[in-house]
Amino acid sequence: NYDLSQYDQFIQTFEKVIKTPKQTNTTTYYTGVDLGTACVVLAVLDDSGEPVAGAYEYADVVRDGMVVDYIGAIEIVTRLKKSIEANLGCELLYAASAIPPGTDLLDSGAIKNVIEASGFELVSLLDEPTAANQLLSIQNGAVVDIGGGTTGISVVVEGEVVKVADEATGGTHFSLVVSGSYGMTFDEAELYKRSEKNHKELLTVLKPVIEKIASIIDRQIMGHQVEEVYLVGGTACLTGMETIIEKSLGIPTFKPINPMFVTPLGIAKNC
């Protein structure tokens, strides 16, 4: 089986430097900017590719990969950039970003403008599943990115992404189900869902939506020899969902220690 431990270490280092940035002698930093439906994440690497700082903020500036609040997006990226710069005592110049598969023609201009208006030079833009695989380096399998608004599926054969697809089911739908089942507002449900202590109980409530995601994966990988599935994206943080997906698909399913940071770190690695 594929060994996720080295990536888990990398992600754990990133989690640490979000809390306490690492001072280095590097003068050039590389920033991955992930503009998501639910969350904007900045991941900063030094010139040896090690995580040195990071920041994230829940936001409502992007929907299904499209920037819907352009000014709000610039404000958040600028705010996160400035706070990291203050901690590192150095300006962040270069950034990479990513877009959900299939949205490039429509939205890559808007993403580029947000990054540049926030004071970065955009040096690369790639699709999210390819970005995730920059970190995971999977040779054969499917990378499934379960985000806020959508689930992105990419099939990797001999290290190359041969198929990408994006479908409109993600963490927002999970929160809507929690809201309906518990009589909570959407915002309350969102917070309740993110708390790990509620995950065991929520797994029963959310099983039908998780199975729907499994059926989306099943349909998208049809015709490909997929022997392993890797879950990334914030929604994959839900403890135990990998077991339901593995059972539904009949394919071994893995997830890294914090699936939410795989794509931002993969983007940063591509900078």
Q: Is 143 in the site for ligand ATP (CB under 6 A)?
A: no
The pattern of x and - marking residues 97 through 126 that bind ligand ATP according to CB under 6 A reads ------------------------------
Query: In this chain, which stretch among 14-22, 113-121, 164-172, 210-218 interacts with ligand ATP, using CB under 6 A?
Result: 164-172
How many residues comprise the chain? Answer: 271
Q: Is 245 in the site for ligand ATP (CB under 6 A)?
A: no
Least distance from ligand ATP to the Cβ atom of residue 38, Å: 4
**234 contacts: CB under 8 Å, gap ≥ 6:** 36, 38, 39, 146, 147, 148, 171, 259, 260
Q: Is 170 in the site for ligand ATP (CB under 6 A)?
A: yes
CB-wise, 51 or 88, nearer to ligand ATP? 51
Query: In this chain, which stretch among 78-86, 186-194, 205-213, 221-229 interacts with ligand ATP, using CB under 6 A?
Result: 186-194
Chosen residue from 32, 54, 101, 147 binding ligand ATP by CB under 6 A = 147
Identify which of 166, 95, 92, 96 has the alpha carbon closest to the alpha carbon of residue 125.
96
Q: Which residues bind ligand ATP (CB under 6 A)?
A: 34, 36-39, 62, 65, 147-150, 170-172, 190, 193-194, 233-235, 237-238, 260
